[in-house]
Structure 1
Amino acid sequence: MEIRYSCNQRDFKRYTTEETRKEFLIENLYAANEVVAVYSHVDRMVTLGCMPTTETVSIDKGIDIWHNFGTQYFLERREIGIFNIGGAGSITADGVKYELGYKDCLYITQGTKEVLFTSEDAA
């Protein structure tokens, strides 16, 4: 998981376009069957990219939850909004399956222990 620290507001005023892009642009957010995570100290926000293709992917795949957040599971102290910008798939949250089509979204509450991402079509 990449960790980004907040920038100084005085320094930000003099940033060039390239410096602004380097500070805020998240590139390569999606990888097949992986969770790509970027934690920002600005608002303590976590941006995740998940692209399940041939397997079901857990929200915490590749993330050391205890080390990075000091919690037992990802949504112990946070909530999440999920936006599907790909093909049809499903989210399973604590055993409840939600079907999502292109441009559908889902809100999952704090305290949800297990979140799984699945694609309907590996293409």
Structure 2
Amino acid sequence: MRSMDVRYATNPDDARSYGTAELRSRYLVEDMFVPGELRLTYSHQDRVVLGGAMPAERPLALGVDDAVRTDYFCERRELAVFCIAGEATVTVDGVVHDLAGRDLLYIGRGSRQISLAARAGGEPPRLYLFSTPAHETHPTVLVRADQVTPVDLGTAEEANRRRLRRYVDGTLVTSCQLMMGFTEILPGSVWNTMPCHTHVRRTECYLYFDLDESARIVHLMGRPTETRHLVVANEQAVISPSWSVHSGVGTASYSFVWAMAGENYRFEDMDHVDMAELR
């Protein structure tokens, strides 16, 4: 595992002066999926770790890094591994879990040895990792895609019809503070979270995927009254501080994994923003 990329927490008063390059360097995570590599980013926003693994000929071990400075990665952390595509095996303390597209493995605090591998004869996998500090221990759970009940949201008139799936949120899987799921934008719609919201009690990260290579997402961020934007490509992630909105519009169909960490363990804990407030 290469050294983690470290991103420091930012103040909204400072962020208002950032240009394009600085916004991207602070909040956009690129080049996450490289054959044969595990790449992680450590954010001081709620101390989340996010990244991508693309195991090839050899398994990839989840080791420790000076940014975390523990004896093993999940000594004081919990972790979710979401299979975007392909087939993989994730071995946790000798127990092998097989993952296919849209499956998720939640790994509880205290798990010592974690390795990620491609399944023999299968399509090379793309695995998205998201980790948060944990002060409770919960069991490791494998969630199959067909176990999750989808919920349809939005309207065609507002171009925001989407299908949301909640994997880790205290119902199907209980964690300490980590929440994770994914949303697909339905045909004819483009907006993923509009009307938008903030939640000052937690950080949220979006990983955009299922996007054509030539297509882009315009991701809105910043304070509701003073927004900024990032132009995002396929399989890139955005770190959204608690003070920032997080909403995007695509030039083609796409999906995104949402993952959160913070003070309040209620999915519905959001501070909704009236459309008239946006600037």
Report the TM-score, using the length of structure 2 for normalisation.
0.40
1:55 alignment partner in structure 2: 58
Q: Secondary structure at the match of 2:67?
A: helix
Deviations 1:59-86 (A, max 9, x none): 12xxx53x32221000000000110012
Q: Is the 8 A contact 1:82 1:106 kept in 2?
A: yes
1:80 alignment partner in structure 2: 79
1:34 alignment partner in structure 2: 37
AA aligned opposite 1:103: R
1:68 alignment partner in structure 2: 67
Q: Secondary structure at the match of 1:75?
A: helix
Q: Secondary structure at the match of 1:113?
A: coil
Displacement after TM superposition at 1:89 (Å): 1.1
**CA distance in structure 2 between the partners assigned to 1:107 and 1:55 by the alignment:** 22
Residue pairs, 1:1-123, within 5 angstroms: 1-60=4-63, 64-65=64-65, 67-120=66-119, 121=122, 123=124
Q: How many residues align?
A: 119
**CA distance in structure 2 between the partners assigned to 1:2 and 1:54 by the alignment:** 25
Displacement after TM superposition at 1:122 (Å): 6.0
AA aligned opposite 1:106: L
Q: More helix per residue: 1 or 2?
A: 1
**CA distance in structure 1 between the partners assigned to 2:59 and 2:114 by the alignment:** 10
Gaps (5+ residues) in structure 1?
A: none
AA aligned opposite 2:27: F
Q: Is the 8 A contact 1:30 1:36 kept in 2?
A: yes
**CA distance in structure 1 between the partners assigned to 2:93 and 2:51 by the alignment:** 19
**Where in structure 1 do 4 or more consecutive aligned residues deviate above 2 Å?**
13-22
Gaps (5+ residues) in structure 2?
A: 125-279
Q: Percent identity?
A: 34
Q: More strand per residue: 1 or 2?
A: 2
